[in-house]
Chains A and B, each alone.
Chain A
Amino acid sequence: MFESARSRGLLVTVLTSLAAVAIALLVGAIFILLSQQNPITAYRALLDGAFGDRRAVGETLAASTPYIFGGLAFAVAYRAGLFNIGIEGQMLMGGLAAGLFAAWNFDLPKVVYIPTALLLAAIAGGIWGAIAGALKAVSGAHEVITTIMLNYLAYQVLSYCLLRADGWLPVNPQLQATDPAAQNARLPNILSGTRAHAGLLVGLLVAVLVWYFLFRTSFGYQLRTVGLSKGAAAYAGMSWGATITVAMFISGALGGLGGSSETLGLLGQQYNAPQGYGFASIAVGLVGRNNPFGVVLAALLFGTLRSGSTAMQNQAGTSKELVLVLQGLVILAFAALASSGRAQSWWARRRGARFKDTTDTIGVEPGVAPEL
């Protein structure tokens, strides 16, 4: 019975995610119908475009990679009770750091060059995230607003570096990009004839590490405790401010890694073009229930949608921006399902209260939140 109760909980979790995706696809089908096309044809073209041949599979894997990092970044912050909407900026800072470092073309072997570039990217993204964490810890500034501001600052830093710092940085203002990365700094291809690159493997490895960190280490436990109950964290002697600052560093570092994986893997250099992965990462994290393995699955789903959408546009004539619509719908469906879950647990609490004894709760007003 021990195992069955546990697997039932897992089942509910998985079903909620699937339901949100299913609702989104259904509403998406209505959109396709409204534009006088056949949703089945469109979705079939999408699947075909994502898995039809070797090149398509490679494209799907490449498209999933940044979502893995972004989803993990969102999940770590979320577990600490923070809403990191600044993954976009953290990715840009990471991509820029790695891109510049790679463009300098140091005489380093692959085994040194790649890890160092990734590390620098993680640090750059981490600092960008930690600023928001520290601001919240010190002055209570809402991380949603600060991370949005940091996103735009990141755009400015990026365009300054790429457009006007050619005097001292290895950049090409005409191309609005860093110089091409050194061969020894490039993440190698993992499926010949496609664009799938080793960033995917890094992402999978990092997912395992994040899982281990969150669910097997003392600090991961502390992070999760802080995220769920400020009161219990204080009771156990955990520092809220320090924990959320570190959590935002880690979250930002994961974002930074994601950015560098694009720069060193897919593109070969950092361009002055935001990719828009930041907001999609929120959807990935939510659908993956902020569990690292769930995030990987959700990232594959969103990667599939992204890579298949081009084929859908070409074959069925359905705009590939349907993917953005689907992402938005998934989030809305998820939010609605989550709030009905809250209503359920509230109901369970009300019912559970009936079995409690009475003696000392007389006069305690139910439903009135205690004053902090």
Chain B
Amino acid sequence: MAQEPQPQAPLAVEMRGIVKRFPGVVANDGIDLAVRQGEIHALLGENGAGKSTLMNILMGLYAPDAGEIRIDGAPVHFSSPRNAVDAGLGMVHQHFMLIGRFTVTENVILGNEGGSISLDRRAAERTVGETAERYGLRVDPKALIENLPVGMQQRVEILRVLYQQSHTLILDEPTALLTPQEVEDLYDILQALRESGHTIIFITHKLREVAAISDRVTVIRRGKTVGTRETKDTTSEELAELMVGRDVRLHVERPPAHPGDAVLQVFDLRLKGRGNRDALDGLSLGVRRGEIVGIAGVEGNGQTELVECIAGLQKPDSGTIMLEGTETTGWNPVALREAGLSYIPEDRHYRGLVLPFSLTENMLLGNSTVAPFSKGGRIDYARTREIAATEMKEFDVRAPGPHTPAGALSGGNQQKFIIARELYREPRVILAVQPTRGLDVGAIEFVHGQLVAERDKGRGVLVVSFDLDEIFDLSDRILIIYQGKIVGDFASGKVTRAECGLLMGGKVAPNEGEPIRV
């Protein structure tokens, strides 16, 4: 790193007081970001902090409601991504915008073919090859995208941005799908780009990456900039604290837990995920009767896979799952429900509800073959409607009646309804994923209260959440998941938010020296 950028280097990108509201949501609430020419600038924040929205504004996908953007000192107003590209900005998306059946060259030149109506494939291949060579990207311009590993596909995205003559590259969570070796290669490429004078904005939530690659870092939290630091002058602890905040919210009043025997046990679960990474890498955990176990972690570290394996929606490659001492690995959801598992899914609209169905019909989801809902293949709609009405009253689901389509309810009422349904059959284990995502404060309190009540009835509750506040509010025990493994296991009150933040970002806890294993 001979060419440290000068502290006084002029600004390549300057965003000031950016505000962006979506219906009911303030995604960016006055964000400032100043990126110097020729530096690698990390944009650090939790899921949902507003990073992606900010970058979409910079790329001209959204118009900001307030604020000002300057590129190389000159104010700009982008009305489409085209303008941003013309101003020298280029984005490498987290979900690659590539066409599998096209070659590398075809993907790179698409939209910027240049020239007349005809396409000089050979010349394009040569140019693309030369560009790849110049920055050490080492991709075959004639290869088909679908035959390339994920790391190579990402290079094609980078190559496309370079081919567009962009001098500022934005990379959105670029390591999310990469293997460790591919991450190292990416770092090398980014260093080389910086040395050739490019500016790089690197969006991440991993502290390790900030330290490994960036010159400076801006931290945002809940739509606001909370600070910018020189990477060499800051510590992981400081960044973790900035990222997750120190403000303590009011906790749900809950008596201490009195845990009993294990009701849910997971041993050495392994599953290959996208891009041949280990989505689950020998994960083990246990939940006891009468306790709430919270799994904290950044999205995409194996939570979805873990939950779907437990709930019978995916089969693990290896490992064992046990419910009350019975092995249930690979059981289907119907059998698992019968065995006492309840599952409050993360995605209400995709999994938890059939939106055009009435609430009565939604009450049947997962229950359509069991008493009292059905008998001998015939569904008792009158009884189901009664049950739905009773449950709606009990769980304060506000809707005109059980005939209302689920899609007409607000998110909070939808979630309350799902919880009502999932608790109706008196489960022994409750699996709740992001149970309060998108809910208002009142609904959050209600949902948390219900989960605590279930715990006090002697049920085992496993909560998965990307919201650290929720984990701290609810859990009797906190597990931290990172890259498909549990890397920390703490009793409630024995861990600070900053320590959690470090572990979630892949850093070792300061006092332990080595991640704690279960």
Give yes or no for direct A-B contact (beta carbon below 8 Å): yes
A362 touches B49 (CB 8 A): yes
**Interface residue total, chain B, C-beta cutoff 8 A:** 66
Known contacts A231-B347, A362-B25; A225 and B365 CB within 8 A of each other: yes
Does A342 lie at the interface of the complex (its beta carbon under 8 Å from any beta carbon of B)?
A: no
B49 touches A363 (CB 8 A): yes
Alpha-carbon separation in the docked complex, A362 to B222 (Å): 7
Which residues of B sit under 8 angstroms from A356, Cβ to Cβ? Answer: 24-25, 410-412, 438, 440
Which residues of A sit under 8 angstroms from B222, Cβ to Cβ? Answer: 362
B52 touches A235 (CB 8 A): no
Which residues of B sit under 8 angstroms from A345, Cβ to Cβ? Answer: 407
Q: List B residues 304-318 near A (Cβ within 8 Å).
A: 311-313
B343 touches A235 (CB 8 A): yes
For the complex formed, measure the closest distance between the CB of B108 and the CB atoms of chain A, giving whole angstroms.
Answer: 23
A232 touches B95 (CB 8 A): no
B467 touches A360 (CB 8 A): yes
A-B contact count (CB 8 A): 151
A350 touches B368 (CB 8 A): no
Which residues of A sit under 8 angstroms from B379, Cβ to Cβ? Answer: 216-218, 221
A218 touches B369 (CB 8 A): yes
A358 touches B337 (CB 8 A): no
Which residues of A sit under 8 angstroms from B436, Cβ to Cβ? Answer: 360
Alpha-carbon separation in the docked complex, A355 to B439 (Å): 10
Alpha-carbon separation in the docked complex, A285 to B357 (Å): 20
Which residues of A sit under 8 angstroms from B404, Cβ to Cβ? Answer: 5
A363 touches B52 (CB 8 A): yes
Which residues of B sit under 8 angstroms from A229, Cβ to Cβ? Answer: 350, 354-355
Which residues of A sit under 8 angstroms from B381, Cβ to Cβ? Answer: 215-216
Does A174 lie at the interface of the complex (its beta carbon under 8 Å from any beta carbon of B)?
A: no
Question: Among the interface residues A221, A222, A237, A366, which one has the most CB atoms of the partner chain B within 10 A?
Answer: A237
1/0 per residue B246-262: CB within 8 Å of A? 00000000000000000
Which residues of B sit under 8 angstroms from A371, Cβ to Cβ? Answer: 95
Does B427 lie at the interface of the complex (its beta carbon under 8 Å from any beta carbon of A)?
A: no
Known contacts A237-B332, A363-B48; A352 and B351 CB within 8 A of each other: no
Q: Which of B24, B343, B352 contacts A354 (CB 8 A)?
A: B24
Among residues of B, the one whose C-beta sits closest to the C-beta of A6 is B403
Does B56 lie at the interface of the complex (its beta carbon under 8 Å from any beta carbon of A)?
A: yes
For the complex formed, measure the closest distance between the CB of A31 and the CB atoms of chain B, giving whole angstroms.
Answer: 36
Does A365 lie at the interface of the complex (its beta carbon under 8 Å from any beta carbon of B)?
A: yes
Alpha-carbon separation in the docked complex, A234 to B377 (Å): 19
Does A12 lie at the interface of the complex (its beta carbon under 8 Å from any beta carbon of B)?
A: no
Which residues of B sit under 8 angstroms from A5, Cβ to Cβ? Answer: 400-401, 403-404
Does B356 lie at the interface of the complex (its beta carbon under 8 Å from any beta carbon of A)?
A: yes
Which residues of B sit under 8 angstroms from A352, Cβ to Cβ? Answer: 410
1/0 per residue A145-165: CB within 8 Å of B? 000000000000000000000
Question: Among the interface residues A235, A352, A361, A364, which one has the most CB atoms of the partner chain B within 10 A?
Answer: A235
Does A324 lie at the interface of the complex (its beta carbon under 8 Å from any beta carbon of B)?
A: no
Question: Among the interface residues A215, A350, A364, A366, which one has the most CB atoms of the partner chain B within 10 A?
Answer: A364
Which residues of B sit under 8 angstroms from A224, Cβ to Cβ? Answer: 357, 361
Known contacts A5-B403, A237-B332; A370 and B347 CB within 8 A of each other: yes
For the complex formed, measure the closest distance between the CB of A94 and the CB atoms of chain B, giving whole angstroms.
Answer: 26
For the complex formed, measure the closest distance between the CB of A319 and the CB atoms of chain B, giving whole angstroms.
Answer: 40
B411 touches A362 (CB 8 A): no
Which residues of B sit under 8 angstroms from A168, Cβ to Cβ? Answer: none
Q: List A residues 211-251 near B (Cβ within 8 Å).
A: 215-219, 221-222, 224-225, 228-229, 231-232, 234-237
A235 touches B438 (CB 8 A): no
Alpha-carbon separation in the docked complex, A27 to B438 (Å): 48
B350 touches A360 (CB 8 A): no
Q: Which of A2, A235, A361, A363 contacts B351 (CB 8 A)?
A: A235
Q: Which of A215, A219, A353, A365 contacts B23 (CB 8 A)?
A: A353
Among residues of B, the one whose C-beta sits closest to the C-beta of A235 is B351
A366 touches B22 (CB 8 A): yes
B410 touches A361 (CB 8 A): no
Among residues of B, the one whose C-beta sits closest to the C-beta of A348 is B408
Does A53 lie at the interface of the complex (its beta carbon under 8 Å from any beta carbon of B)?
A: no
Does A359 lie at the interface of the complex (its beta carbon under 8 Å from any beta carbon of B)?
A: yes
Does B460 lie at the interface of the complex (its beta carbon under 8 Å from any beta carbon of A)?
A: no
A365 touches B377 (CB 8 A): no
B401 touches A2 (CB 8 A): yes
Q: List B residues 16-43 near A (Cβ within 8 Å).
A: 22-27
A364 touches B377 (CB 8 A): no
B438 touches A360 (CB 8 A): yes
Q: Which of A237, A350, A359, A363 contacts B51 (CB 8 A)?
A: A363
A218 touches B403 (CB 8 A): no
Does A1 lie at the interface of the complex (its beta carbon under 8 Å from any beta carbon of B)?
A: yes
B337 touches A362 (CB 8 A): no
Which residues of B sit under 8 angstroms from A358, Cβ to Cβ? Answer: 24-26
Q: Which of A222, A234, A360 contacts B48 (CB 8 A)?
A: A360
For the complex formed, measure the closest distance between the CB of A81 and the CB atoms of chain B, giving whole angstroms.
Answer: 12
Does B47 lie at the interface of the complex (its beta carbon under 8 Å from any beta carbon of A)?
A: yes
Among residues of B, the one whose C-beta sits closest to the C-beta of A355 is B410
Among residues of A, the one whose C-beta sits closest to the C-beta of B95 is A371
A232 touches B50 (CB 8 A): no
Which residues of B sit under 8 angstroms from A353, Cβ to Cβ? Answer: 22-24
Alpha-carbon separation in the docked complex, A357 to B366 (Å): 28
Among residues of B, the one whose C-beta sits closest to the C-beta of A351 is B23
Which residues of B sit under 8 angstroms from A236, Cβ to Cβ? Answer: 333-334, 365-366, 368
For the complex formed, measure the closest distance between the CB of A12 and the CB atoms of chain B, giving whole angstroms.
Answer: 12
Alpha-carbon separation in the docked complex, A232 to B412 (Å): 19
A365 touches B403 (CB 8 A): no
For the complex formed, measure the closest distance between the CB of B398 and the CB atoms of chain A, giving whole angstroms.
Answer: 11
Q: Which of B50, B313, B369 contacts A363 (CB 8 A)?
A: B50
A357 touches B412 (CB 8 A): yes
For the complex formed, measure the closest distance between the CB of B230 and the CB atoms of chain A, giving whole angstroms.
Answer: 26
Which residues of B sit under 8 angstroms from A1, Cβ to Cβ? Answer: 400-401
A232 touches B400 (CB 8 A): no
For the complex formed, measure the closest distance between the CB of B101 and the CB atoms of chain A, giving whole angstroms.
Answer: 17
Alpha-carbon separation in the docked complex, A350 to B467 (Å): 25
Does B441 lie at the interface of the complex (its beta carbon under 8 Å from any beta carbon of A)?
A: yes
Does B378 lie at the interface of the complex (its beta carbon under 8 Å from any beta carbon of A)?
A: yes
A222 touches B440 (CB 8 A): no
Known contacts A216-B381, A356-B410; A232 and B352 CB within 8 A of each other: yes
Alpha-carbon separation in the docked complex, A371 to B369 (Å): 31
A364 touches B441 (CB 8 A): no
Alpha-carbon separation in the docked complex, A38 to B20 (Å): 60
Does B292 lie at the interface of the complex (its beta carbon under 8 Å from any beta carbon of A)?
A: no
Alpha-carbon separation in the docked complex, A356 to B441 (Å): 11
A228 touches B356 (CB 8 A): yes
Alpha-carbon separation in the docked complex, A228 to B351 (Å): 11
Q: Which of B56, B357, B410, B441 contacts A359 (CB 8 A)?
A: B441
Alpha-carbon separation in the docked complex, A370 to B25 (Å): 18
For the complex formed, measure the closest distance between the CB of A347 and the CB atoms of chain B, giving whole angstroms.
Answer: 11
1/0 per residue A1-14: CB within 8 Å of B? 11001100000000
A228 touches B354 (CB 8 A): yes
B351 touches A232 (CB 8 A): yes
B377 touches A218 (CB 8 A): yes
Which residues of B sit under 8 angstroms from A360, Cβ to Cβ? Answer: 48, 434, 436-439, 467
For the complex formed, measure the closest distance between the CB of B483 and the CB atoms of chain A, giving whole angstroms.
Answer: 20
Does B345 lie at the interface of the complex (its beta carbon under 8 Å from any beta carbon of A)?
A: yes
Q: List B residues 439-471 near A (Cβ within 8 Å).
A: 439-441, 443-444, 467
For the complex formed, measure the closest distance between the CB of A245 and the CB atoms of chain B, giving whole angstroms.
Answer: 18
A-B contact pairs, 10 of them (CB 8 A): A218-B377, A221-B364, A225-B365, A232-B353, A232-B365, A235-B351, A356-B410, A357-B24, A357-B411, A359-B444
Footprint of A on B, CB under 8 Å?
22-27, 47-53, 56, 95, 222-223, 311-313, 332-337, 343, 345, 347, 350-357, 361, 364-366, 368-369, 374, 377-379, 381, 400-401, 403-404, 407, 410-412, 434, 436-441, 443-444, 467
Give 5 nearest A-B pairs by CB, closest first. A357-B440, A237-B333, A237-B334, A231-B350, A363-B48
6 more A-B residue pairs beyond the given contacts A218-B379, A359-B438, A364-B48, with a C-beta to C-beta distance below 8 A: A5-B403, A6-B403, A216-B379, A356-B438, A359-B444, A363-B53
